[in-house]
Structure 1
């Protein structure tokens, strides 16, 4: 975690910003909850547990700054709530999401399946893709399995695929 904090500190410094204690507390919460897609309010509640003196406006400003500097990605999964996701330091592009329209869960696809498409766009249209995001909306395997258990007459032989 300390290496990621140092990397983010350097990203901020390269743009003329400092990693203040308030910003660091926010970054630490995001790192500790990296698997989740936290809203600003979620981040604030978790930051407040660690640093009660930090206000909601400070957390909002920090999230917006980190988003502008491409440390975070600000996203909306169709529920009207902005959520924040740390951009991984190991990948050129952001990961993709499987969004369940029933339970609202968000699962991630870490592989970048669009590299061949990007190469084709460059060759055919001389368009260099800098970044992209791909979200799939549907029914997750947990909801599908739950529905099958609740309705024994459902003899649907279709199996949900798993993503690794």
Structure 2
């Protein structure tokens, strides 16, 4: 007689199912790790983009008077809801107060999938939100709320992005 017995067929299907399950679990795990890496790089990119906008000489004039100092570019990071955006301090009639106000946003950025901002640290102090300002043309960097020499944004999975008052952006 030629062919397979039922027992051989069931064992073969079982082995293939186990191998498939292991591969699927591994794929899901690596997919979320890549989402963490991409989200961390997105946040670092936002800091660098605002910094470059202030360095580029692309001056934001919030008063309409060319003799006035240009507005600062800023990055606003909010823990709840998880959001990050570039804003112009004082544009569109907003107050020039070194922090984000409604209507001042220039660009908004999304984190991937299930990735959220879990903590924001200014120095060693945990905050719900933070403003990082880049005042052209140098750009001078300041943090709101003060004091602090760095801002660290922590996302799902423990990855962190740190910007220092010297302008260095590090992804851990």
TM value normalised by structure 2: 0.24
Structure number with higher relative contact order (C-alpha < 8 Å, ≥ 6 residues apart)? 2
Structure showing greater Rg: 2
Q: What TM-score do the two structures reach when normalised by structure 1?
A: 0.25
Q: Which structure has more strand as a fraction of its residues? A: 2
